[in-house]
Amino acid sequence: MEKREKLYEGKAKVLYKTDSDNLLVAYFKDDTTAFDGAKKEVLEDKGVINCAISTVIFEYLEKHGIKTHFVERLSPREMLVKKCEIIPVEVVVRNVAAGSFSRRYGVPEGTPLKEPLVEYFYKNDELHDPMVCPNHVYLFGWATREELGQMTKIALEVNELLKKFFDEIDIQLVDFKLEFGRCNGEIILADEITPDSCRLWDKSSGEVLDKDRFRKDMGKVVESYKEVYRRIMDRYEKVGE
Ligand code: ADP
Ligand code: UDP
C-alpha cells in the first residue's frame, strides 16, 4: 500500500492518503497535548506505544463483533485504516467519577457510578469541546437519531468488552472517549483507543497509568503507557486474543 500526500495533521496523529480512495494511513506522533492543545510536549516513543496498544484493542474488539476502521498495523507508528466521515461527536463512557465529570457535578474522583454513563461532546477545539445533549446532535445535524442510537449502543458494548479486558490485567477502566465515522453506509468505530483517550488505574494501588500523568505533571508518562502495553502483551500470551 503506497502512502501518498498528507491529508490532515492533528495534535497526536497525521493522516495520509494512500493509492486506495477508501484507505488512509494514520501515523502516531510523539506529540502529547492537553487542555485543547494549550499544554504540549514531545514524549519519546509515545506514538509507537499508542499505535501498538490501539492495534491490540481494535483487533480484540473486531474479534468480539465491533466494527472498526482498523485494517492492519503497517509499521511501529503507522496503522492502515478505512477512510470514514468522522461524526464530530466525542462519545465518553464513564464507570467511575473523574476529570470533567467530577469538576462539573462535584463528585469526588474515584466514586464508582452505579451504572455506566454515556456523555456527548462536540468535537471542536476552538469551543473547547463543549458537552452537548442528543438534541444538540440532531439540531446541528451532526448525526441522526438512528446513528446516535447506534453509537451509544456500540459505546456501551465496547465498555463491557474493555472493562473485562483491562480487569484481566489488573487495570480499572475509569472512562474513555470514542469517535465514530460513516463508512459505506455503516457507523464504525474510528480514531484510537489508547492511554491518551482512556483513564486507566491500577486495580490494587490506584496508580494512574494514563494521560492524567501528563495533564497533572505526575511524570513517568511513557513509562506508564509501556506498563499498560506490557500487561496487555502478557495477557495476549496467556489468553491468545
Ligand atoms: P485531533 O484532530 O483531535 O487533533 P488527532 O491528532 O488524533 O486528533 O488526529 C486524528 C484525526 O483523524 C482526528 O480528527 C480524527 O477524528 C480523524 N480520524 C480518525 N480516524 C479516521 C478515519 N478512519 N477516517 C478519517 N478521519 C479519521
Ligand atoms: N478525552 C479524550 N479527548 C478529549 C476529551 C476527553 O480522549 O478531547 C478522554 C479523557 O482522556 C478521559 C475521558 O475522555 O479518558 C473523559 O474526559 P473528561 O471529560 O473527564 O475530560 P478532561 O478531564 O480531559 O477535561
Residue 236: its pLDDT value, please? Answer: 86
Residue 1: its pLDDT value, please? Answer: 75
Q: How does residue 79 score in pLDDT terms, banded at 50, 70 and 90?
A: very high
Q: What is the CATH number of the domain that holds 24?
A: 3.30.200.20
Q: Work out which ligand 1 atom sits closest to the CA atom of 12.
A: 6
Residues 78 and 126 in one domain: no
CA of 117 to the centre of ligand 1 (A): 24
* pLDDT tens per residue across span 110-121: 999 999 999 999
Q: Is the dihedral of CA 196, 171, 90, 58 positive or negative?
A: positive
Residues 134 and 186 in one domain: yes
Work out how many domains the chain is built from and give that number.
Answer: 2
Residue 5: its pLDDT value, please? Answer: 96
> What angle is formed at CA 29 by the lines to CA 22 and CA 206, rounded to 5 degrees?
110
Q: What is the DSSP string of 165-208?
A: HHHTTTEEEEEEEEEEEEETTEEEEES--STTTEEEEETTT--B
Residue 67: its pLDDT value, please? Answer: 98
Q: How does residue 36 score in pLDDT terms, banded at 50, 70 and 90?
A: confident
Residue 241 above 80 pLDDT?
A: no
Residue 53: its pLDDT value, please? Answer: 98
Query: Which set of grid coordinates corresponds to residue 149?
Result: 442510537
Residues 89 and 77 in one domain: no
Residue 240: its pLDDT value, please? Answer: 80
- Pocket of ligand 2 contains residue 109 by CB under 6 Å: no
- Pocket of ligand 2 contains residue 31 by CB under 6 Å: no
CA of 153 to the centre of ligand 2 (A): 20
Q: How many angstroms separate the CA atoms of 18 and 82, rounded?
A: 11
pTM of the model: 0.98
Domain housing 150: 85-220
- Pocket of ligand 1 contains residue 94 by CB under 6 Å: no
Residue 27's φ and ψ, nearest 5 degrees, are: -105, 120
* pLDDT tens per residue across span 175-226: 999 999 999 999 999 999 999 999 999 999 999 999 999 999 999 999 999 9
Residues 149 and 90 in one domain: yes
